[in-house]
Amino acid sequence: MKYSQVKRAADCVLAAGGIFCLLPVLGGAALICARSGEGILYRQKRIGRGGEPFIVYKFRTMRRDAPVLPREELADPQRYYIPGGAFLRSTGMDELPQLWNVLRGEMSLIGPRPLLPAEQEMHRRRTRQGIYSLRPGITGLAQLCGDPPSRIKASLDGLYLENLSPWLDVAIVLSTVALLWKRHGK
């Protein structure tokens, strides 16, 4: 059995288990979003496997009038957060609805983050490296390095593709958990 098949099966089992185990957290995050009056879920077109667009689901952390740009391109992202939105984003809880995208086969738990269609330079870099042969992930190698410039992010995505293995995926999961744990002073 190829690793891609094992990875897909593991994604389904872990995503379904995650949704079940995290129901109280999902409910709490949904309440934070609902109280803002801006809505609970945010749907956004992203580019997935094979360069095909799909809709990614996230908990809404920003007001509806926030510009649709990567956060690093916003002049003052803090002014657009809903109450509690910065917390949801900093803890990664805003990403939890993407477990549904994993179950649907549009995403994986681990892989390069899906891009906005407007991120043309990154799309060119990823296309040259063959990154679109992978499902995008909720977390990935580039996310462990903070928010690197696009050329470094593309290089990290390529490094992930070249070294794809169960051990690398486990290392990324453990590192992601450690990073979130450390970020919040636990």
Q: What is the mean pLDDT of residues 156-182?
A: 91
Q: Residue 43 pairs with which residues in a beta bridge?
A: 57
Q: According to the model, what pLDDT value does residue 178 have?
A: 87
Q: What is the mean pLDDT of residues 131-135?
A: 95
Asked if the model's pLDDT at residue 70 lies above 80, the reply is no
Contact between 183 and 90 (Cβ < 8 Å) = yes
Q: According to the model, what pLDDT value does residue 69 have?
A: 74
Q: What is the mean pLDDT of residues 154-163?
A: 93
Whole-angstrom Cα distance, residue 143 to residue 156? 9
Asked if the model's pLDDT at residue 88 lies above 60, the reply is yes
Q: What is the mean pLDDT of residues 162-186?
A: 84
**Residue 185 pLDDT class (50, 70, 90 cuts):** low
Q: Is 138 helix (H, G, I), strand (E, B) or coil?
A: strand
Structural tokens at position 66: 């926030």
Average pLDDT over the chain reads 91
For 34-51, the pLDDT digits (tens) are 999 999 999 999 999 999
Q: What is the mean pLDDT of residues 141-149?
A: 83
Percent of the chain at pLDDT exceeding 70: 97
CA 162 to chain centre: 20
Q: Is 130 left (phi over 0), alpha (psi -120 to 50) or beta?
A: left
Structural tokens at position 29: 């995050």
Q: Where are the domains of the chain?
A: 3-183
Q: According to the model, what pLDDT value does residue 184 have?
A: 60
Q: According to the model, what pLDDT value does residue 186 have?
A: 46
Q: Which residue has the higher pLDDT, 83 or 1?
A: 83
Contact between 152 and 145 (Cβ < 8 Å) = yes
Whole-angstrom Cα distance, residue 147 to residue 161? 19
